[in-house]
Amino acid sequence: MEVADVFRCYGPAYRTTHKLPLHILKAMSAIERCRTALLGGHVERCDTCDHIRISYNSCRNRHCPKCQSLAKERWLAARKRELLPVSYFHVVLTIPDGLNPLVLVNQKVLYTILFRAGSETLLELGRDPRHLGAEVGLIAILHTWGQNLMDHPHLHGVMPCGGLSHEGKVWLLPKKSSRKKEFFVHVNVISDLFKRKFLDYLKEAYRKGALKFVGKVEYLRAGQEFQAFLNTLYHRKWITYCKRPFGGSEQVLEYLGRYTHRVAISNDRIVKMDDGTVTFRYRDYRDGNQVKQMSLEAFEFIRRFLLHILPDNFVKIRYYGLFNNRNRKAKIRLCKEVLGASAGDEHEPAAPESWEELFIRLTGIDPRICPCCGKGRMVRGETLLPLIHAPPGKG
Residue 76 in domain = no
> How far is 391 from 5, CA to CA, in rounded Å?
15
Residue 73: CB partners within 8 Å, gap ≥ 6? 257, 358, 362
Domain range holding 340? 82-264+307-346
The whole-number pLDDT of residue 249 equals: 67
Considering the domain architecture, whether residues 218 and 87 belong to the same structural domain is answered as yes
Considering the domain architecture, whether residues 98 and 175 belong to the same structural domain is answered as yes
Residue 74 in domain = no
What is the number of structural domains in the chain? 2
Considering the domain architecture, whether residues 372 and 342 belong to the same structural domain is answered as no
Task: Quote the DSSP letter at residue 380.
Answer: E
Pairing of β 52-56 and β 41-46: antiparallel
Residue 294 in domain = no
> How far is 214 from 42, CA to CA, in rounded Å?
47
Q: How far is CA 390 from CA 20, 116, 185, 382, in A?
A: 21, 43, 57, 21
Considering the domain architecture, whether residues 124 and 57 belong to the same structural domain is answered as no
Please, which residues bridge with residue 293 across strands?
Answer: 281
Considering the domain architecture, whether residues 109 and 250 belong to the same structural domain is answered as yes
Residue 20 in domain = yes
The whole-number pLDDT of residue 62 equals: 92
The whole-number pLDDT of residue 348 equals: 57
Compute CA 262 distance to the chain's CA centroid, rounded to the nearest angstrom: 5
The whole-number pLDDT of residue 181 equals: 44
Considering the domain architecture, whether residues 29 and 50 belong to the same structural domain is answered as yes
Helices 249-259 and 69-80: angle between axes, nearest 10 degrees: 150
Query: Long-range contact list for 384-389, CB < 8 A, 24+ apart?
Result: 384/37, 384/40, 384/41, 384/42, 384/43, 384/54, 384/56, 385/40, 386/38, 386/39, 386/40, 386/57, 387/37, 387/38, 387/40, 388/38
Residue 178: CB partners within 8 Å, gap ≥ 6? none
The whole-number pLDDT of residue 361 equals: 80
The whole-number pLDDT of residue 388 equals: 64
Cβ count within 10 A of residue 21: 11
Residue 175 in domain = yes
Considering the domain architecture, whether residues 199 and 121 belong to the same structural domain is answered as yes
At 262, which amino acid appears? R
Considering the domain architecture, whether residues 251 and 322 belong to the same structural domain is answered as yes
Residue 58 in domain = yes
Residue 209 in domain = yes
CA Rg value for the chain: 24
Considering the domain architecture, whether residues 169 and 129 belong to the same structural domain is answered as yes
- pLDDT by residue, tens only, the chain of 395 residues: 899 999 999 999 999 999 999 999 999 999 999 999 999 999 999 999 999 999 999 999 999 999 888 888 888 888 888 889 888 888 999 999 999 999 999 999 999 999 999 999 999 999 999 888 999 999 999 999 988 999 999 999 999 989 999 999 999 988 765 544 445 678 889 999 999 999 999 999 999 999 999 999 999 999 999 999 999 999 999 988 877 666 666 777 777 777 788 898 999 999 999 999 999 999 988 888 899 999 999 999 999 999 999 999 999 999 999 999 888 999 999 999 999 886 555 555 556 778 788 888 878 889 899 999 999 999 999 999 998 655 544 44
Closest CA relative to residue 98, chosen from 144, 153, 142, 148: 153
Considering the domain architecture, whether residues 55 and 148 belong to the same structural domain is answered as no
The burial of 194, by beta-carbon neighbours within 10 Å (0-12 exposed, 13-18 middle, 19 or more buried), is given as buried
Considering the domain architecture, whether residues 47 and 135 belong to the same structural domain is answered as no
Residue 290 in domain = no
> How far is 74 from 62, CA to CA, in rounded Å?
14
The whole-number pLDDT of residue 174 equals: 80
Considering the domain architecture, whether residues 193 and 59 belong to the same structural domain is answered as no
CB 158 within 8 A of CB 255: yes
